[in-house]
Chain A
Amino acid sequence: MNSAIQVIPLEWYLLLCTVLFTIGVLGVLFRRNAIIIFMSIELMLNAVNLLLVAFSSFLSDSKGQVFVFFIMAVAAAEVAVGLAILMMVYRNTNSSDINVLNKLKW
C-alpha cells in the first residue's frame, strides 16, 4: 500500500486541516461552557498537528514530526493548568459558564 501523500494531493490535506481548524474556532465562538471551549482548542491544535505531519511526509523530513511531539507536550501542560484553573473557577462561582467571568470587562 502506498503512503497517502503519494496518491493524495497536498491541497486536500490543507483543505481538511483548514476545515478542522475552523470547526475549532466555531466551537470557541459558539459555546459558553468553558470545558467545550478547551476541547475546541484541542481540536485546533490537532488540525495543525495533522498538517505538520502531512508536510513532513511530503518533504520526507522528520523535523515536522518532532515538532508535533513538542506541540503534544505543550498541549498536555496547557490542559493540566487550564483544567486546574477551571476547577478553581467552579469552586468560586459554582458554574463553568464563561459569561460569569466578566469582571475584567470595561
Chain B
Amino acid sequence: MVTTYLFYFLSFLAIMFGLMVVLSKNPIHSVLYLVLCFFTIAGHYVLLNAQFLAVVHVIVYSGAIMVLFLFVIMLLNLNKETEPHKSIWLKGSAAIAAGSLLLVMVGSLKGATTIQSTNAFNPNIGLIENLGTTLFKDFLLPFEVSSILLLAAMVGAVMLGKKSIK
C-alpha cells in the first residue's frame, strides 16, 4: 500500500517538475527543476529494487551532468529572463504536435497485450553483485567500447573548447 502511494506521489512530482523544466522562464530555474525531476526518478529506481542504479543516477546526473549545465549557463551569463521566445503560433503548434504524439503513443499502448514474466521474481537483481556479473560476463566488449567513446568525447570537448583551431 505504501509502495502504491509512493509511486503515485513520485510520478506526480516527476511529471510536474518535467513540465516546470520546459515552462519556466529562467534557465537556472529549469536546471534546478531538472535536478529535482532526476531525484524523483532515482526514487522510482529505489522502488523498483534497483538501488545501485539509483545511487549511480544521483551521482552521474544530479552530481555531474547538471553541475556542468549550471556551469555553462553561468559562463554564458544566461541567468536573465530576456531570452528570445517563439511566436504564439509556433508555441501552439509545438503543443499540438507533442499532444498528438502522446495521443498516438498512448493509443498504441492501449491495444498492446501484457507479456508474462517467465522468470520468478528476484529482488536482488539490482544489487551490485549481480550487475557486475552481467556487465563483465555478457557486456564486456560494449563496456570497453564505451570507454573509447568517453575518451573520444573528452578529446572532442577539449578540441572544441580551444580558442582557435589550427
Contacts and interface: CB of A to CB of B under 8 A. Distances in A.
Contacts of A38: 69
Given A43-B34, A74-B146, A23 B50 contact: no
B66 to A, nearest CB: 8
- Name the interface size band of chain B: 35 or more
Contacts, number: 235
A102 interface: no
A5 B50 CA distance: 11
A60 B139 CA distance: 17
Contact of B7 (A8, A11, A77): A8
A87 B158 CA distance: 12
Contact of A57 (B27, B48, B95): B48
A102 B44 CA distance: 40
A24 B125 CA distance: 29
Nearest to A6: B121
A1 B2 CA distance: 8
B15 A25 contact: no
B16 to A, nearest CB: 10
A40 B27 CA distance: 12
A25 B101 contact: yes
B64 interface: yes
Majority secondary structure of chain A interface residues (helix, strand, loop or mixed):
helix
Interface of A: 1-12, 14-16, 18-27, 29-33, 35-36, 38-40, 42-43, 46, 49-50, 53-54, 56-63, 65-66, 68-70, 72-81, 83-88, 90, 95-97, 99
Interface of B: 2-4, 6-7, 11, 14-15, 18-19, 21-22, 27, 30-31, 34, 37-38, 41, 44-45, 47-50, 53, 56-57, 60-61, 64-65, 68-69, 72-73, 75-76, 78, 83-86, 91, 94-95, 97-99, 101-102, 105-106, 109, 114, 117-123, 125-126, 130-131, 133-135, 138-139, 142, 146, 149-150, 152-154, 156-161
Which 7 pairs between the two chains have the least Cβ-Cβ distance? A77-B153, A29-B94, A84-B160, A26-B98, A4-B47, A60-B119, A27-B22
10 contacts: A3-B123, A6-B121, A22-B101, A22-B102, A43-B37, A53-B48, A62-B126, A62-B131, A72-B57, A88-B161
